[in-house]
Amino acid sequence: MVIKTREAGNVVVFDIEGEIRRTDTPQETLHSLVEAQLNHGRRNVLLNLAGVEFIDSFGVGQILASYISTQNLGGKLKLCRISHKLLLIFQITMLHKVLDIHEDCDKALESFGKA
């Protein structure tokens, strides 16, 4: 998994590529990277999942933990550009009813400004 972080206005965007899964090699987790941004006072987070090929239960847990941490601090976490395969996983787990999922990242960014 490769994660590039950038800012778009008051939103921190994580462009994620590869697989979001548990590994045997030590590496930073998605949740720890989101928490680091929250600790710096950034409360709006967008996960761009366009480059994600696979996600396992650990990866789903990382997204959910990131969502909860963001919500607990009064922030917003949204997802954009997820594949049909990933969307099915979120539908099966019913997380599509909890998570704010957008097809287009620009529209997701715009939605942060709306109440």
Let me know if domain 2-111 sits in CATH 3.90.1150.10: no
Helix (H) or strand (E) holding 35: helix 30-39
Boundaries of every domain in the chain = 2-111
Geometric angle at alpha carbon 28, from 93 and 42, rounded to 5°: 80
pLDDT score at 25: 65
Per residue in 12-33, pLDDT (tens digit) is 999 999 999 887 666 789 999 9
Residue spans of the chain under pLDDT 70: 24-26, 115
pLDDT score at 23: 79
Q: Indicate the residue type of 53.
A: E
Q: Is the dihedral of CA 105, 106, 108, 112 positive or negative?
A: positive
pLDDT score at 42: 96
What separation in angstroms does the CA of 78 have from each of 23, 26, 27, 58, 86? 25, 26, 23, 18, 15
